[in-house]
Amino acid sequence: MLRTIKSSKLEIGMYVTRFVKQTGNMNLTMAGWIKTEAAMKGLIAKGILEVEIDTSKTLVAKTESENKEKSEKQKPISFDNELSRATGLYQQAKSFQKKLLNAVDREIAIDVKQVEAMSNKLVDSLERNSNALLCLTSIREKDSYLLEHSINVGIMLATFATYLGFDKAKIQKLAFAGVIHDIGKIKVPDEILHKPGKLTDDEFVIMRNHVNYGGDYLSQFDDLEPSILETVMQHHEKIDGTGYPNKLRDDEIGMYGRMISIVDCYDAMTAERVYKKGMPSMKAMKILMRESGVHFDGDLVRKFIQCIGLYPAGTLVKMKSQKVGLVTKVNQAKPLEPEVKIFYCAKNRHYLASRDINLAASHCKEEIEEVIKAEDYKIDFQKFFTQAVA
Ligand SMILES: [Fe+2]
């Protein structure tokens, strides 16, 4: 996608297609990537004020100091050790999201660096143990959809990007975009935002405007990375051109835009709302598959499903033995045999001392019978997370 930015905002790796504004009369002989700090400074010194860049061609290269600051690798730790930390972080992200929405509603400026720092913390947690935060995305408070949805999209987008082999700088950008992608919804009246039934045409126009609200609000911040704004603007675009707000199609939608539309839709379908039950993940995956090549990039849908697995981390499963456990790790090679933390007995309806089992292990005799919901067995997930594991 083509964007115009100030030349002072150029970064190594950006692909310059045209000079837009300058004090002199220079011609760009050939479009190309900014490869060195010297090249960037050279353009500014020659009076180039604004350039057009093609964000779909941006390379990953970052300045040395940025790499050092953003890419410090976290040491991997166990699920149990990360879980209590991730639980605190998730709560922190929710209260942060509340402040963020409040700022957007009152049209007060936000500190982009603070939002970035929050989403980077989510990425760091995923790097230490990818499953702890992912598990938390499956626990929903019915009246917290707006807060939880954006955090969940940030977490799942970062997980998806990691699966696709993106480097940490890109993963951080996607987490950031996920966290802020729906901030424009705060401007949509509650009776439309939380309407249980189908929206009327007029209501749908207002609902669709949340993308432009968010985009307009975010575009005032010069220090916001252009690809993040672009991802926010494209999260409801569909590859057959029936999406909004710009009815983009196929390659007009960037890679990040195609990724976020899948993750956004998956989380919305599986979310518990005041007026509807969350859809089982398997059913949501079938809908994504059905819409492949129409609304979504088919290749990316397949990769997303491989990434989160048939039993995503956080799924509550009942074994044939009637023991109940939480999926704590997806097995990509054997999707029907994840790692599970057993902690409840469905037959006698009581908690068990938690223990980890790997369904793929040759000595393991347990087998998943079905996916269940916590409320069906009055399982207190909060109790499980705060006491049984931590
Ligand atoms: Fe949205």
pLDDT at 14: 79
100-110 pLDDT per residue, tens: 999 999 988 88
What does the alpha-carbon distance between residue 377 and residue 1 come to, in Å, rounded to a whole number? Answer: 49
pLDDT at 142: 65
Query: 69-308 has which CATH code?
Result: 1.10.3210.10
pLDDT at 68: 47
pLDDT at 69: 47
What does the alpha-carbon distance between residue 128 and residue 154 come to, in Å, rounded to a whole number? Answer: 16
pLDDT at 353: 87
Report H helices in the chain: 37-45, 64-70, 79-105, 112-128, 130-136, 145-163, 168-180, 190-193, 201-218, 226-233, 255-270, 281-290, 298-308, 381-383
Output the CA 265–ligand 1 centroid distance in Å: 9
Output the CA 229–ligand 1 centroid distance in Å: 13
Q: What is the DSSP letter of 385?
A: I
Cα dihedral value 265, 270, 272, 278, nearest 10 = 130
Output the CA 233–ligand 1 centroid distance in Å: 9
- List, for the chain, all residue ranges whose pLDDT scores fall below the cut of 50: 60-69, 388, 390
Residues sharing a CB contact under 8 Å with residue 1, sequence separation 6 or more, in sequence order:
54, 55, 56, 230, 252, 254
Nearest C-alpha neighbor of 164 from the set 307, 311, 328, 332: 307
259-297 pLDDT per residue, tens: 999 999 999 999 988 777 889 999 999 999 999 999 999
Output the CA 257–ligand 1 centroid distance in Å: 12
Domain 2-61, CATH class in plain words: alpha beta
Domain spans, the chain: 2-61, 69-308, 316-389
308-353 pLDDT per residue, tens: 999 999 999 999 999 999 999 999 889 899 999 999 999 998 888 8
Six-digit token pair at 77?
A: 């730790």
5, 46 in Cβ contact below 8 A? no
pLDDT at 184: 96
pLDDT at 2: 80
28-41 pLDDT per residue, tens: 877 887 866 777 88
pLDDT at 385: 65
Output the CA 330–ligand 1 centroid distance in Å: 28
Output the CA 234–ligand 1 centroid distance in Å: 9
pLDDT at 63: 40
Nearest C-alpha neighbor of 110 from the set 97, 120, 100, 119: 100
256, 56 in Cβ contact below 8 A? no
Output the CA 154–ligand 1 centroid distance in Å: 13
Output the CA 211–ligand 1 centroid distance in Å: 6
Tokens 């953003």, located at residue:
70
